[in-house]
A and B are shown apart, each in its own frame.
Chain A
C-alpha cells in the first residue's frame, strides 16, 4: 500500500472522528510506520522491541486523546508530540531502573519533517552537482566559486571573454541550486 501524504492522513482522522471505522483502520495502517520512523529519529539507540512497545503505547494515546487534535490544523505535529511524550515517559521510567543506555536526540517536529543533511553529505552533493555541469561551466564554477579567481583571470585561462565567464558562472550556480534542491526533496 502506498504511503499517504499528511493531508490524506488528516482526512482519514476527520472521517474516523465522525464514526468511520474503515477510515480509522486506514489511519492506523498509515501512521504506524511513520511512528516507527519518528521514534527511530528521536532515539536511534532505542532497541527495536522497545520501539515497538512505545509505538503501541503511542497508538493507545492517540486513540485516547484524539479529541485534542484541532481538525483545521496539521495532524503530524500532533502525532509527533504524542510520540515524543510517550518516549520521554518511557525514558523517565527507564532512568529509575536502568537496564540499558538509551539517548533522546534533542530535536523538534521540524527536524524530523525537514531533516538537515550533515556537512559531509552536503559536500558530496555539491561535488556531484558540479560534476554534472558541462566541462566549461564546471571549470568556471570551480575557478570562481572554489578557487576564488575573478572573471578576467578565468577568461584569459579558458580563452573566453570576461562577460562569458560571468554568465557561465551564474548559469552554473542556477543549475547547482536546482540539483541540490531536487536531491534534498528526494530524502
Chain B
C-alpha cells in the first residue's frame, strides 16, 4: 500500500464531520468573549474614576448619544457576515465588503457634517474634547481580547485572505470596544466620537490585520 493510499484510508476512517456551523461557532465565541471583556473593562474604568454615566438610560434617548453605540453596532453587523464568509477558502471580497465600507463611513461623515459650519477654534476644541487619548487607548486595549477570540475561531476555518480577514475582525472588535466605551464616554459631539471612535476602530483593524497575517495560516 503506497503512502498516499494509506493516508486516504486514514481520512476515510475519519470521514464524519461533527463540528457545527461556522456561523454559530463564530457568534458563540464572540458573545462569550465580549461579555466578560465588557464587565472587566467597565470595572477597570470604574476603579480609574470613570464609571458608567448615572443618567445613561435617559441620555440614550438623545440621538447624538445613541449613535455612539448604534453606528459601531452597524459596523459589527456588516463586518461579522463578511468574516464568516471569509472562513471559506473560495470567498471573494469584491462587492461583499461594500456594506461594511458604508457603515465605516458614517462616523467620519457625521464628524465632517458637525464641523463644517463651525470656525477653526471651536472645531479644534470639539475634536480634542476632554480625553481623546483615553478614548483611543481604551478602544484599542479592549479590542485585543476580542481580536484574539475571533482569531481562535477563524483558525478553524480555511481563510485564504488572512490580512483582510484579520483587518475586518479587528474592525469588528474595535466596534464592540467602542460600544463598551460609550457607556462611560461623556463626549457627545459627533465631531469628537466621529473621529476618535473611527480612529480606534481602524487601529484595532490594523492590529487584526497583523494578527491575521501571523496566525491565520494553515
Contact = CB atoms under 8 A, between A and B. Distances in A.
Interface in B183-218: 217-218
Nearest to A85: B160
B8 interface: yes
A84 to B, nearest CB: 8
Nearest to A92: B217
Contacts of A102: none
Given A59-B7, A63-B11, A68-B157, A77 B90 contact: yes
A84 B91 CA distance: 13
Interface stretch (B13-21, B67-75, B114-122): B13-21
B77 interface: no
B160 A21 contact: no
A135 interface: no
Contacts of B11: 24, 28, 59, 63
B95 to A, nearest CB: 16
A59 B90 contact: no
Interface stretch (A12-20, A145-153, A179-187): A12-20
B212 to A, nearest CB: 14
Contacts of B158: 61, 65, 68, 81-82, 85
Interface string B5-29: 0011101111111010010000000
A56 interface: yes
B154 to A, nearest CB: 11
A17 B15 contact: yes
B87 interface: yes
Interface string B87-101: 111100000000000
Nearest to A21: B12
B61 interface: no
B88 A70 contact: yes
Contacts of A20: 15
A81 B87 contact: no
Interface string A75-88: 00110111011000
Contact of B15 (A24, A59, A70): A24
A78 B7 contact: no
Interface of B: 4, 7-9, 11-17, 19, 22, 87-90, 157-158, 160, 217-218
16 contacts: A16-B15, A17-B17, A25-B9, A25-B12, A28-B11, A56-B7, A59-B7, A65-B89, A65-B157, A65-B158, A67-B17, A68-B22, A77-B90, A78-B90, A82-B89, A89-B217
